[in-house]
């Protein structure tokens, strides 16, 4: 797996500009806005996987929360203006999509639109973690069904572009 190194480049009014370096890529991101946008988009993706079989189950939500705590929160340390770790925006947007009763395709399209516009923000580590999280959500409730496998296949194709 690629190693990641984060360096503060400069402090801005609403966030800090970081340079993130992996063995494969170097990206520059504004912590507050960029990570909140990425994580919000990921929440829609993970919701689209969970709802693809027609219902979001508690075990899927619980697994997502575990993965956020174990994998996404430690990934980087950006926080919003209230001090909330930006990684929590995954569950915030997941819950919003669920409360709004978005269809699987509506949530998927929100992720796809953001990814197509800002796909360069996803390095190999982020892509791998995104797919692993989606796959874990899909398999936690009685294995993968056809609709979940279809969504995972779509995600795999998108991330390879």
Q: What is the pLDDT of residues 66-123, one digit of tens each?
A: 999 999 999 888 888 898 899 999 999 999 999 999 999 999 999 999 999 988 889 9
Question: In the structure encoding, which two tokens stand for residue 152, read together?
Answer: 């995972």
CB atoms within 10 A of CB 58: 8
Q: What is the pLDDT of residues 119-155, one digit of tens each?
A: 888 999 999 999 999 999 999 887 667 888 999 999 9
First to last CA, the chain: 19
Q: pLDDT at position 119, please?
A: 87
20 and 108 in contact (C-beta within 8 Å)? no
Q: pLDDT at position 69, please?
A: 95
Instruction: Please tell me the pTM assigned to this model.
Output: 0.78
Q: pLDDT at position 22, please?
A: 37
- Edge-first strand listing for the sheet containing 16-22: 4-11, 16-22, 26-30
Q: What is the pLDDT of residues 6-50, one digit of tens each?
A: 434 444 444 444 444 333 333 444 445 688 899 999 999 999 999
SS3 of 48-93: the string is: HHHHCCCCCCHHHHHHHHHHHHHHHHHHCCCECCCCCEHHHHHHHH
115 and 156 in contact (C-beta within 8 Å)? no
| Displacement of CA 9 from its chain's centroid (Å) | 24
Question: In the structure encoding, which two tokens stand for residue 72, read together?
Answer: 């996404």
Q: What is the distance between the alpha carbons of residues 42 and 115, in angstroms, rounded to a whole number?
A: 9
In Å, what is the CA distance from 129 to each residue of 10, 85, 102?
A: 27, 18, 24
């Amino acid at each position: 797996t690629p190693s990641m190194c984060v360096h503060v480049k400069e402090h801005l009014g609403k966030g800090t500009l970081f340079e993130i370096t992996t063995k494969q890529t170097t990206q520059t991101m504004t912590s507050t806005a960029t990570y909140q946008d990425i994580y919000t988009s990921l929440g829609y993706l993970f919701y689209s996987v969970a709802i693809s079989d027609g219902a979001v189950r508690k075990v899927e939500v619980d697994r997502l929360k575990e993965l956020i705590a174990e994998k996404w929160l430690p990934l980087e340390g950006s926080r919003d203006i209230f001090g909330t770790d930006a990684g929590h925006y995954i569950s915030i947007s997941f819950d919003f999509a669920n409360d709004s009763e978005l269809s699987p395709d509506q949530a998927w399209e929100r992720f796809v639109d953001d990814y197509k516009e800002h796909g360069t923000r996803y390095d190999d580590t982020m892509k791998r973690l995104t797919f692993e999280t989606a796959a874990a959500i899909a398999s936690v409730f009685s294995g993968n069904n056809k609709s979940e496998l279809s969504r995972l296949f779509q995600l795999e194709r998108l991330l390879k572009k």
